[in-house]
Amino acid sequence: MNYIIIGNGVAGVTVARSLIQKAPPGSKVLQFTTEPYGYYSRPKLPQFLGDKTQSPEDLMIYTKDWYNESKIDFHPNEKIHSINRKEKKVVSEKGEYDYDKLLLAQGASCACPPIPGLELEHAYTLRTLADAITIRNQLELSQSAVIIGGGLLGIENAIACAKHGLKTTIIEFFPHMLPRQLDPEGSKIFTELLAKYGVGIITSAQVKEILGDSVVESIQLKDGRLIPADIVMTCTGIKPRIALAKKAGLDVNRGVVVNDYLETSDPNIFAVGDMAEHEGRVYGIIPPTTEQSRVVVENLISPRSREYHGSRMSTTLKVADLFLTSIGYDANQADYQFIKYINDESNEYMKIFHEDDKIKAIILLGTKKGIPQLRKMFEEPLSHNQKKLEELFPGIA
């Protein structure tokens, strides 16, 4: 059996690693990436950006030797530009390769709003290690930065810029920070905690234009405000890489549409991770990507043997001393009933949103206390957990 995997992010690597162990003897696994590296951790890129002592090697999880030793036929720096579904081949500039089963794990790029000036020098997005190296070099030469988008990535990147001593401002479209992770009350506390990192925040604001001759000089907001900046980073969500699938005639929407077996509209081609759309959802984070990858391996080996029924969103901010975990929350849940715990001295805040004795979402701020126990509580009625909650968060009500 010939398996081809397009992509070497967490989806591609999780599947490749499992296939070489589980696939029938004699199977071949070919893996392609447009990047020059083995597998590295994308979530560690913001930290790399803020810490000039880190080298690219510090981020590597699998070097090229690992692929050789694992008998994965690894093709770095090789972009697949078309899929011939009739002949079951993928095509790059370097050659054509036959597949029996093909996995698309191409991830996403940044979804930038149509802001004039994004093409200027020193206007960046962060997706790859190569991006991070370029941006970090430029941070060393800069005095001020504007981050467009106050989501998790925007905040992590802003703190990285502040660590280099840059005057840093986040521009957020919504009236409060992290609307997808925090309710308004939690967001207010979070914004106060963020202040100690010296990052400025402007909410309810939209960028009109990035100004400069050939290089970024300032940011003009729609309300007329002008913010000087040497660097702009846009962190406004993701755009699944669907072009290759679309060209091959597969069903696409926002992402490449997959069914419960993670098959695309061609049963020999599967898609997982940031590029896949299941039941109308594109997740864009690692936990659903690994869940999908585990399921798809089974179906690649034995057709339609395992179903995927969606994942619960769970995000964590990775900034030292600024703990935030949000599980299952989306802005629609702000109206649900809740119980909460606040400790003003330790700056801890915890809120559980519930409906019909079922936990719908949990927000935890300023502490990592009880995360594994809290995750398990989703599986049981809230009333069964009152005692445990009281032990963890005395006075919760």
Ligand X SMILES: Cc1cc2nc3c(=O)[nH]c(=O)nc-3n(C[C@H](O)[C@H](O)[C@H](O)COP(=O)(O)OP(=O)(O)OC[C@H]3O[C@@H](n4cnc5c(N)ncnc54)[C@H](O)[C@@H]3O)c2cc1C
| Interaction site with ligand X (CB under 6 A) | 6-12, 32-35, 42-43, 45-46, 79-80, 105-108, 126-127, 153, 241, 244, 273-274, 284-286, 289, 318
- The rounded distance, in Å, linking the Cα atoms of 314 and 328 is 6
State in angstroms the smallest separation of the CB of 277 from ligand X.
12
State in angstroms the smallest separation of the CB of 245 from ligand X.
10
- The rounded distance, in Å, linking the Cα atoms of 6 and 303 is 19
Choice between 135 and 352, CB closer to ligand X: 135
Cβ–Cβ < 8 Å for 37, 136:
no
State in angstroms the smallest separation of the CB of 33 from ligand X.
4
- Quick one: 265 exposed, middle or buried, by C-beta within 10 A (0-12, 13-18, 19+)? middle
State in angstroms the smallest separation of the CB of 142 from ligand X.
19
Choice between 101 and 127, CB closer to ligand X: 127
State in angstroms the smallest separation of the CB of 389 from ligand X.
26
Cβ–Cβ < 8 Å for 240, 225:
no
State in angstroms the smallest separation of the CB of 145 from ligand X.
15
Choice between 47 and 385, CB closer to ligand X: 47
Choice between 45 and 342, CB closer to ligand X: 45
Choice between 317 and 382, CB closer to ligand X: 317
Residue 251, number of CB atoms within 10 A of its CB: 15
- The rounded distance, in Å, linking the Cα atoms of 23 and 115 is 47
- Quick one: 371 exposed, middle or buried, by C-beta within 10 A (0-12, 13-18, 19+)? middle
Cβ–Cβ < 8 Å for 241, 108:
yes
State in angstroms the smallest separation of the CB of 159 from ligand X.
13
For 28, list phi and psi in degrees, rounded to 5: -120, 140
**Nearest residue to 284 via CA among 249, 318, 313:** 313
State in angstroms the smallest separation of the CB of 278 from ligand X.
13
Choice between 79 and 312, CB closer to ligand X: 79
Residue 294, number of CB atoms within 10 A of its CB: 15
Choice between 32 and 341, CB closer to ligand X: 32
Q: How many residues does the chain have?
A: 397
**Tokens representing 52?**
């000039």
Question: What is the radius of gyration, based on Cα positions, of the chain?
Answer: 22
- The rounded distance, in Å, linking the Cα atoms of 183 and 172 is 15
Choice between 9 and 117, CB closer to ligand X: 9
